[in-house]
Amino acid sequence: MTYSDSLHDTDTGVTRSEEVVDERPTVAVAAPSWSPAQIIGLIVGIFFAVLGTAAIIRTGFDTSHIYTPKDDVWSFTHSPLLALIEIGYGALLIIASVVPGGVRWLMGFLGAVALGFGVVIVAGDTPTRLNDWLGVTHRNGWLYVISGAVVLVAALVSPVFVTGTRRRHVRDVQQAA
C-alpha cells in the first residue's frame, strides 16, 4: 500500500511531501475448489448408506448367518451381507465427495465397480451364488448400473471450479517508543 501526503507549513510557507510504503508481508491463501461430481457422489453415497442401514435394520445381522434372511427394502432384495457392502460403498463415496475438489479417481473407481457389478447381475441369468449370497435380482442390477454410470460419468467429465486466490495481510505489530 503506497500513499502520499502533502504537508504545508504555514509559518515557513514550505510544502513537504511524505510517502509511506506498506511493506507488510502478504500470504496467498488458496480458496477451496469444488466440482459438481462431489454433489452427485454425495447424493449417491448417502442413498446407499441409508439403503444399507435400512436393510441391516430389517434383516438383522448375525455373523453366523450373513447370507440369511433375505428381505425387500424399498423394493430391492437384500441379504445382511449386501447391506454391509452397500454401507461400505456409500461411506467410501461420501468420503471421496467431501474432499475439496473431490477424490475423482476414487469416485471413478467406485462408479466403475458399481457399473460392472450391475452389468454382471443384469446380463442374462443372475448367477445362483450371487443370488444365494446377496439376494440380488435384476432390479438391484439396474440400480447398480444406473448409479454406477452416473457416478463414473460425473467423475470423468465434471469440471473443477476454483474460486480464486485470496490475499491476506500479515500485520507486524510494532510498539512506539
pLDDT per residue as tens digits for the range 40-76: 999 999 999 999 999 999 988 888 888 888 888 888 8
* Burial class, 29, CB count within 10 angstroms (exposed 0-12 / middle 13-18 / buried 19+): exposed
Helix (H, G, I), strand (E, B) or coil at 16: strand
**DSSP type of residue 75:** T
For the beta carbon of residue 111, count every other beta carbon within 10 angstroms.
Answer: 25
Euclidean distance between CA atoms 117 and 109, whole angstroms: 12
Of residues 49, 80, 51, 50, the one with CA closest to residue 63: 80
Residue 92, φ and ψ in degrees, nearest 5: -65, -40
Q: What is the pLDDT of residue 165?
A: 59
- For residue range 67-106, what is the model confidence (pLDDT) as tens digits? 888 888 888 888 999 999 999 999 999 999 998 766 889 9
Contact 49, 86 (CB under 8 A): yes
The residue that leads in pLDDT, 3 or 98, is 98
**80-98 helix and 36-59 helix, angle to the nearest 10 degrees:** 160
- pTM for the whole structure: 0.71
